[in-house]
Structure 1
């Protein structure tokens, strides 16, 4: 049910509606004449999109459009003429191309393809687009000197290309990625992280994130999506960063500076589906859905969670396009990993329910094997994360190949933080319960962009009695989240947190619509109780990263009752985390394995005369005991 709700929600695309005039068009360059071809074959060096030669003064424009009759290139270079630049069709009928000379390499040219004399589309491979509806709401502070839309000359989305794009010099080229087991990932939506919603303003908050101790940022989708205000899961152009967040070089600087601070950058990649502004959808479309001749898309979705239009990943055209997208972002932006949205959708096996959709799918495994091989050929150590939620039998296959799976503990952890214990067992946070042979394949989290916020449910639905109240009690609710985090970060393996979870963000996920923009609460950081939660998160994260015990494969745990505990042991130390998630006192009885002094990272040391710890814990009370003091 939750995934179905997500799927419906991701279809929402919110666009600013304030009334402003589109910025006036600038003077266009003198028309440029096309080069007469001597052969209909693709010229050497040509590829999908645009390839510049002769120091940016010449360019080959190429469009993959099998089955189409004619294509013309229209743009600033030919005064948007529909007849001046007819493109040449290759003998196999799959490609159209044209070569232009005498271009100014320092000029941005807007252009479109006119297909069969009736359809104007942008270039699917372009790195920048102009949107006649939404660009007017992008400020000069966000995107300086944004090229004006060619009003009156064409309609729809247009592409932009430039021979000599403004360069970026990478400074932090020696960045060493954290080991998978050490990853603590911060999932971040640029739009809702700072009021300015830009890469540059987010960059100014790196000290906050470094202080928290995270070592990876997972950016929600930043390639061009429909509208401005979006989660980004409604993509339309896959090579162009969305201008609502800033320039291409702003994004590169953000990644570069993160590397300089020891933080990996992972990009949320959406290749299950695309939306109607995509030229690849428009090229073969009957007005409602893709036609049977579409090289990339299914006519109808093959699974129950699709939004937009469903890619067919058994199609050679889709495979090539997807690989081109992956390689481009890996090489151009020096990213450290991808998190693939709705990875379970990479299948052509039809299903109408989650059970059959989640069942082991050999075809899906083969598709992912192909994509993984491509990414590994570019960067053998690249992080590959799947939002799969398939049966364990299939996830084990991927984990054994070095991929990482999203692992959602939101329901059980939130039941525990609210004090409702009937379904509060978060044993699925342990890799062995999935059949994995290693913890590094399981990224567990209590919150993600998809889930209701723990704090919202704590203060709205929390349990209570005369002596202990969670519902409506911010201070108590924050302490409950702190206790849950102590357990989350004690579990071996990579972890993830959703932005502002470390200060108890408590705005309903459906505020302003599920995917609508949310209030930004930087003032929470100065609130003493919320700052205490941030400090606790920072302590847990740093202990996880600085003490090898938290990577131990020798452990026992009991997460099923009111008293929850986990004990980890290695050759040098033993750590026991124990806490009472009930709303009444409960007695904890845990085998510590040895007597003597035990250090408490969160309180007072204790001395055991027997190997069994037996102590009454108040509701919400927890401890992190260790035989040797932990490095903090």
Structure 2
């Protein structure tokens, strides 16, 4: 079914406290094809959070009633009262305000054992592992500090973004810790953070890419109001927030796989899961199904509306993108854009996306196979691309490798703007040499085993070689596209990451903030701060044309030269990836004096147009010369 975007009726789904009656909780969920007429019965099991580990206190059971929704089919619902006089046992906190955990249990006449431990697919909060939760007394909504409609904040245009990827548990333990680090990020010059998956997962240490719940924050990090407070605090420091969204696949415990698998339904009859595009990770979702499409569009709307996030980083787009199909990823990003665009005249927090005629919703694809195609053919306005990362890791003595890196710094072939159904959308790609999927960049130059030489998981990059990273950082921040740092990269974090295996995703790698104070950390963060400031204050780096001097004269000396130009603003960037200082000739086409931006030690005075100048480029470093106006 195509046509206008449709949202699921969240007002009747999940666990919601009655606005008029204290202590009354309404629950509802869709289980298409699972009806009472077939003998199915559904219960919800609820217990106060602090009671759940006490042997004398068991959860209370409430049976749900069945009805049929005209749009989505079988609907189960219940209204339960939580009163102190109904305590399940002496000493129970039942009836008190606070957090309650719950799960569903389905009894089917054809299966001997009940299907227990079913998480609520529409839960707004979660407990440990396979438990959903709600907070009694939560009716009061979060009050945004700037104003009720958050009218002051504006999501930045793509060209202005300097991105920082982080995982809350590793970056600062939890949401409160992350809020406390926002001053640091703002001082660094970051104006957008990308949060690795926040959705509910089963394990306590996990990257989060096999979700079992989508409408809330995993309790490892905090709860609804905690994340709202983080977004609010970030906006007040001029930092946008985008969230990592995992829609191509789920955990085997995701209820729309778990329940129907336990019932023995064949995949073709599952109302939500199934083959769609590439099915590589976890359990695949089927975007040919209306219920699936509407579910994930509703997830997007909920995060934009409830949490005020500024956009999404869509994980593993090949898993739900079929070229030529109007369903899947193509439809999701289009419908999300149109949902936001329709809010242009609304006097509410939606105004954060509008400045002039642009809609500054950030929709970033992780489409590593066809990054250019996803920009050209969908409403995505930016994309991850591993070309720069792989070229940087392969660059060495081979001139062809440096040439490839120079081309990726310029994002050659990537569109700057594309029209979709009359909507003119700015397009770009991310530039990074590190992200959560790969070892720290310093590992390229050498690794050490700090404790056990036979344990690959303990291997680390040799921080003594930190200086070799410098020309790559200079190139990244002066290149075309959105520069992105991975947490701790700016002060030399050096974890090694295995190429495969569970050790990649199930090992806790906290950011080692003590690195900030080491000589390597101080030197690296000083350079990053300088580069961020340079980019933010000079529009030729964020918006300008890029020209790569792809000349063997330079490449054979392990030097890359490229320029950035915006109107009358001009900068020349020279990067030396070798261990020897180099002096190379260059003919300037713009007359004037040039200021060296990194240290000011190689200023060029009164250069004539057409004059050949010998440029000194220090080893494992670079120079940035800007034409003075």
Normalised by the size of structure 2, how large is the TM-score?
0.77
CA drift at 1:180? 0.8
Match among 455, 480, 487 for residue 442 of structure 2: 455
SS in 2 for 1:523: helix
After superposition, the Cα gap between the structure-2 partners of 1:521 and 1:585, relative to the gap in structure 1 and judged at 3 Å, is: same
Correspondence for 1:626:
626
1:530 aligned partner: 521
2:410 aligns with: 430
- CA positional deviation for 1:280: 1.6
Q: 1:440 to 1:403 in 2, by over 3 A?
A: closer
Deviations 1:468-502 (A, max 9, x none): xxx99745x32332221111111233221111111
* Distance of 2:44 and 2:550 partners within structure 1: 64
Cα separation, partners in 2 of 1:309 and 1:523, compared to 1, 3 Å: same
Q: Does 1:600 align with 2:578?
A: no
> Are the equivalent residues in 2 in contact too, given 1:75–1:81 (CA < 8 A)?
yes
Whether 1:72 aligns to 2:42 is yes
Q: Is the alpha carbon distance of 1:334 and 1:316 closer, same or farther for their aligned partners in structure 2, counting shifts above 3 Å?
A: same
Correspondence 1:557 to 2:548: yes
Number of aligned residue pairs: give it: 536
Alignment of 1:469-618 (within 5 A): 474-475=463-464, 477-510=465-498, 513-515=503-505, 516-558=507-549, 561=555, 562-603=558-599, 604=601, 605-607=603-605, 608=607, 611-618=611-618
d(CA) in 1 for partners of 2:105, 2:223: 28
Residues 567-588 of structure 1, C-alpha deviations (whole Å, 9 max, x = no match): 1223332111112213344442
- Asked if the contact 1:577–1:625 (Cα under 8 Å) also holds between the matched residues in 2, the reply is yes
Question: Which runs of 5 or more structure 1 residues have no equivalent in the other structure?
Answer: 1-43, 135-155, 350-358, 462-470
SS at match of 1:531: helix
Spell out the pairing of 1:171-570 with structure 2 (5 A cutoff). Answer: 171-172=145-146, 173=150, 174-194=152-172, 197-286=173-262, 291-298=267-274, 302-303=277-278, 306-347=280-321, 365-366=330-331, 368-374=333-339, 376-377=341-342, 379=350, 380-391=359-370, 394-398=373-377, 401=379, 403-408=381-386, 409-416=388-395, 421-424=399-402, 425-426=404-405, 427-437=407-417, 440-460=427-447, 474-475=463-464, 477-510=465-498, 513-515=503-505, 516-558=507-549, 561=555, 562-570=558-566
Using the alignment, how far apart are the partners of 1:112 and 1:596 within structure 2?
71
8 A Cα contact 1:71 1:96, kept in partner: no
Distance 2:371 2:242 in 1: 24
CA distance in 2, matches of 1:287, 1:444: 46
Q: Which SS does the other structure have where 1:407 is aligned?
A: coil
Structure-2 change in CA distance of 1:514 and 1:301 (3 Å): farther
Structure with higher strand content? 2
The alignment partner of 2:257 has SS state of helix
SS in 2 for 1:433: coil
Offset of 1:112 from its aligned partner?
3.2
Q: Cα offset for 1:564?
A: 0.6
Q: Are the equivalent residues in 2 in contact too, given 1:108–1:162 (CA < 8 A)?
A: yes
Contact 2:393 2:444 in 1 (8 A): yes
Q: 1:591 to 1:225 in 2, by over 3 A?
A: farther
Unaligned runs of 5+ residues in structure 2 are 1-8, 49-57, 84-94, 109-113, 344-349, 351-358, 419-425, 449-459
- Note the C-alpha offset of 1:381: 2.9
What's the offset of the Cα at 1:113?
3.0
Q: 1:128 deviation in Å? A: 2.0
Query: In the alignment, is residue 129 of structure 1 matched against residue 126 of structure 2?
Result: yes
User: Normalized against structure 1, the TM-score is what?
Assistant: 0.77
Cα distance in 1 between the residues matched to 2:398 and 2:324: 33
Contact 2:272-2:285 at 8 Å conserved across structures: yes
Cα distance per residue 1:151-176 (max 9 Å; x no partner): xxxxx635435363464221132222
Give the root-mean-square deviation of aligned CA atoms.
Answer: 3.2
Contact 2:210–2:250 (Cα < 8 Å) also in 1: yes
Residue aligning to 1:140 = none
Rounded Cα–Cα distance in structure 1 between residues aligned with 2:494 and 2:10? 54
SS where residue 20 of structure 2 aligns?
Answer: helix
Asked if the contact 1:186–1:497 (Cα under 8 Å) also holds between the matched residues in 2, the reply is yes
Alignment CA distance shift 1:56-1:294 (3 Å):
farther
Q: Deviations over 1:490-546 (max 9, x none)?
A: 123322111111112212013992121125321111112321211111111111111
Secondary structure in 1 matching 2:571: strand
Taking the aligned partners of 2:230 and 2:42, their CA distance within structure 1 comes to: 38
CA displacement, residues 119-152 of structure 1 (integer Å, 9 cap, x when unaligned): 2323210122333xx5xxxxxxxxxxxxxxxxxx
Alpha-carbon shift at residue 457 of structure 1 (Å): 1.4
| Cα distance between partner residues in 2 of 1:226 and 1:281 | 15
**C-alpha displacement of 1:413:** 1.7
Give the conservation status (yes or no) of the 8 Å contact 1:492–1:551. yes
Cα distance change of structure 1 residues 113 and 52 upon mapping to structure 2, 3 Å threshold: same
